[in-house]
Amino acid sequence: MTTTPLPGHPHFALRDGELFAEHVRLQDLARDHGTPLFVYSKGAMLAALAAYQRGFAGRKAQICYAMKANSSLGVLQVFAQAGCGFDIVSGGELERALAAGAKGGDIIFSGVGKTRAEMRRALEIGIGCFNVESEAELEVLSEVAVAAGQVAPVSIRVNPDVDPKTHPYISTGLKGNKFGVAHERTVHAYQRAASLPGLKVVGIDCHIGSQITEDEPYLDAMDRVLDLVQAVEAAGIALHHIDFGGGLGINYNGDQPPAADALWAKLFAKLDARGFGDRQFMIEPGRSLIGNAGVCLTEVLYLKPGEQKNFCVVDAAMNDLPRPAMYQAYHGIVPLSRGGDQPQTYDVVGPVCESGDWIGRDRALAVKAGDLLAVLSAGAYCMSMASNYNTRGRAAEVLVDGARTYLIRERETAADQMRLERPAF
């Protein structure tokens, strides 16, 4: 048998011309579960996590999976069983983390718009830390905690004004972004937090963006955060932990982000040099753990030639794979089996009634109606951002573990979508 791993996707490989996830032929999964279908490799998830674990060997550190990247329960269970905590940004994500087996103390609550109800629920289950994103939030959280007879553990998310050199929609650490407390207001915010009766200061937090592919933004942000740690502690406020967020990119189209263990070797060298190497550290990776562990299988419905463009119409759409429409993002697209036809150049598009409903532009594909394709790097920010636009049901999901498969989400039906609706007349 001839085996050829897909570049950048070592747990997906062509075997005698057929695409496999670990030891499972993807054609078989499409036949058994239909399309569109998301397929995740457990081995790929754990391999990505292992790179962070190597980088943190011998350090006091906690890895909290940023579940906004993909919050499917089967995915969360893999990371929970591997020892991860969770970074959440909503009350719904809190309930998902608990359902996946997380303990309250292993959960970090981030996000700029926490409601009082979400705060109360998080306090009720013993949340590990609130990453507070504004001075106004400090006041509200203290009120909620006092009313509940509790003290809320807080870390303030600081905005270091560092350019992550990524898409502007996923840049979060510049002055013009909505996230975090301004660098120059940080010490004042900590002094206010320390004075409020419902709060206990436990750490400092920073997150500068997503799909970052260079070392320099992390190193620059670390310097600015460590300067703030010194300033805050000089004001008499101890910081138990330092949280550097996530944001490490993956290979979508020849991108070359640093490996997680190599990046953290550089970051710890800086931490050690500045005397902070023995602190408790927390990080919140998301995309880099799940992004390249997932593919979306889709069937070719029609080939539509045109004067200016040839279109390959598939049954997956922008409601399943929103990143191209939102960010003009690139996803690799490959057939599940190699054919002998001559490739032609197509725009790969979906059935949704929007010109923005495209999956890939100008792709060389040898396909015909009825063929199956895999959209690569689909583990992150696809199912978690999926919608029911055009009353399309969300796709089914399958987790592959070696030769075993688990249906972790059933395909959504029209009845599922209408279950909570009521006729007006």
Between CA 218 and CA 205 the distance in angstroms is: 13
**Residue 89 DSSP SS3:** coil
Cβ(79)–Cβ(286) under 8 Å?
no
Q: Are 70 and 380 in contact (CB under 8 A)?
A: yes
Q: Which of 129, 206, 353, 382 is catalytic?
A: 353
Residue that is written with structure tokens 């990080």 in the block: 283
Locus of tokens 């199956």: 372
Q: What is the DSSP track for 349-413?
A: E-SSSSTT-EEEEEEEE---TT-EEEE-S-SSSSGGG---GGGPPPPEEEEEETTEEEEEEPPPP
Say which residues have a Cβ less than 8 Å from residue 418's Cβ, sequence separation at least 6: none
- Which candidate, 333, 398, 321, 410, places its Cα nearest to that of 358? 321
Whole-number Cα distances in Å, 87 to 29, 79, 95 = 31, 12, 12
Q: How far apart are CA 425 and CA 419, in angstroms?
A: 17
Task: Count CA atoms closer than 13 A to 214's CA, side-chain side.
Answer: 10
Q: Please, what is the end-to-end C-alpha distance for the chain in angstroms? A: 63
Assess contact for 130 and 109: CB atoms under 8 A: yes
Burial of 195 (0-12, 13-18, 19+ CB in 10 A): exposed
Residue 258: asked if its preceding bond is cis (omega within 30°), the reply is: no
Contact 123, 146 (CB under 8 A): no
Measure CA 417 to chain center. Answer: 25
**Catalytic residue status for 64:** no
Q: Which residues pair with 298 in a beta bridge?
A: 373
Cβ(110)–Cβ(122) below 8 Å: no
Written as six digits, the tokens of 342 are: 């001559």
CB-CB contact of 215 with 266 (8 Å):
yes
Give the residue numbers annotated as catalytic, written as ranges: 353
